[in-house]
Structure formats: structure tokens, C-alpha cells
Structure 1
């Protein structure tokens, strides 16, 4: 099993997307921290997954294609687009995928690759946000379109409904 942190946009959205993927065994939603100057807490998830089922490069590509990694919107830095790594191999893979996706889009790569230094979970009432009530207006408006994209472009990596 492998663990990696993913930050970008709201952690409710990131959690819902990552939970939908085959090979993911656990998703911890909360706030991630790295080294200065990226040490302010940012929303994100820690994904635990089987890289034999879900390759790391695929997980990172899904992450990049389901949030606005090319933008700069980040109120108080809490919506930082980042991949938080634990191992040197993860850094190389993340950097390569970020560069490839940015080039395909004709954009400058803005998603950061940062060491994961700390994690604190969200309040329990916010965890499993999509799974506990997918009919919430937020879920319908923001998470469902991401799950539709996943089913359309990464169908082989999505858990059966």
C-alpha cells in the first residue's frame, strides 16, 4: 500500500473523487501541512491505495483533471493545488505527470509537489461528506460533475456504483 496527500479546492470534493477510485482503501479528509513557505494548513486528503490496482501516475492525473490546478484562487492559501509526497519516487512521478498535463492544456504547471509534514483530520461531521448525503446541493453542483468526468475518462479506474 502507498500513501500520498492531495490538495486542491475543497477537501469534500477531493475526498468524493478519490473515494470513487478502485484500489483506494482509505481516504482521510482534513488539512495538510508542508515546509515553509507552504506550512499554512491547506485542505486536502491523504489517500491510501494499492499502486498495483491504481498506479500513482493515474491517481495524480485524476486529481489534476478534477480540480482547478491551473488557477491561482486560494483564499488564505487553504485551497493549495498540491501533491504531498512521502517518498522520492513519488516526487519524480508527480512532477512528470503535472508537467505532462500542463503541456497538454497549454498551461503553466502550478500544482506544487511538496513534502507532507503533518496532517490533521476534519471534524467528524464533515468526513465522508459525499457518501453520507450525495443529494446535498453542494454535492450535486460540485462533486457530481467531477464524478461524471471520472466515469467518462477514467471508467476502468472507477468503482462500480
Structure 2
């Protein structure tokens, strides 16, 4: 199993997105810090995955297409667009994926590749937020539309459970 961190949107949304992928064995949501001037904590998730089932490049593509990876909007102080690497071998894979995916976007991708430093897990009551209560208004109005878009682009790696929930009216 490998681990990688992703940030860029509300961690409830990001958690649901990565929990919906085949080959992902676990998602923890909370706050990640990197190093250097970027030591602040940002909402993010740690994704555990089987690279034989879902490559890091595919996870990177899902991440970039599931949040505003080209926008330096006002919420970036809370939702940093970043990929937190757990080892040096992940850096060139992520860098290459971002380079190849740039053609999918009109503006430059601002997502940073930074080393993982530390993590603060969110409270238990907020873990598995979407899948515990998919009928909540936030889940219906914010999370589900993101999953619907994801299903259109990455349907071949979306779990059956996620497909059923997304298609459910």
C-alpha cells in the first residue's frame, strides 16, 4: 500500500471523491502541514491506495479535475491546492501527470507538490461524512454534484457503491 495526500477543497468533498475510487483502501480527512514556509495546516486527506489497481497518475488526474486547481481564490488560505508526497519516488510521477494534464485546463495549474510533514485527524463524527449521511443537504448540494462530474470523466475507476449513490435521485 502507498499513501499520498491531497488538498484543494473542503475535506468532506475530497474524502468522498477518493473513497469512491476502486483501488483506494482508506481515506483519512483532517489537516496536513508540509515544511518550510508552508508549515500551516490546510484541509486535506491522506489516501491509502493499491498502485496496482489505481496508479498515482490517475489519482492525480482525479484530484486536479475535482477541485479548482487553476484558481487562486479567496479560500486558498484554508483550501490549499496541493499534493503531499510521502516519498521522493512520488514526485516525478506527480510532476509528469500534472504536466500532461495541463492540456485539460485553460489556465495554468497552481497545484503545488510538497512533502508531507504531519497530519491532524478530524473528529470521528466527521469521518466518512458523505457515506455516513448522503442525504444531508451539504452532501446533496455540494458533494454529490462533484461525484457526478467525476463519474462522467472517470467512470471506469468509480466504485459501484458510489455510482449507485450518485445516480440516486
Question: TM-score of the superposition, structure 2-length normalised?
Answer: 0.91
- Deviation above 3 Å: which 4+ runs of structure 1? none
Partner in structure 2 of residue 106 of structure 1? 106
Partner in structure 2 of residue 43 of structure 1? 43
Q: CA deviation at 1:76?
A: 6.7
1:23-81 Cα offsets, whole Å, 9 max, x none, are: 11110000000012111100000000000001110011001100111111253722000
Looking at structure 2, the residues matched to 22 and 72 of structure 1 have their Cα atoms a distance apart, in angstroms, of: 30
Partner in structure 1 of residue 159 of structure 2? 159
Distance 1:16 1:81, change over 3 A: same
Looking at structure 2, the residues matched to 138 and 103 of structure 1 have their Cα atoms a distance apart, in angstroms, of: 31
How many residues are matched?
161
Looking at structure 2, the residues matched to 65 and 85 of structure 1 have their Cα atoms a distance apart, in angstroms, of: 19
Looking at structure 2, the residues matched to 128 and 66 of structure 1 have their Cα atoms a distance apart, in angstroms, of: 18
Flag structure 1 segments of 5+ consecutive residues without an equivalent. none
RMSD of Structure 2 on Structure 1 (CA): 1.2
Equivalent runs, 1:52-91 vs 2, <5 Å? 52-75=52-75, 77-91=77-91
Question: TM-score of the superposition, structure 1-length normalised?
Answer: 0.95
The question of whether the paired residues in 2 share the 8 Å contact of 1:42 and 1:79 is answered with yes
The question of whether the paired residues in 2 share the 8 Å contact of 1:66 and 1:146 is answered with yes
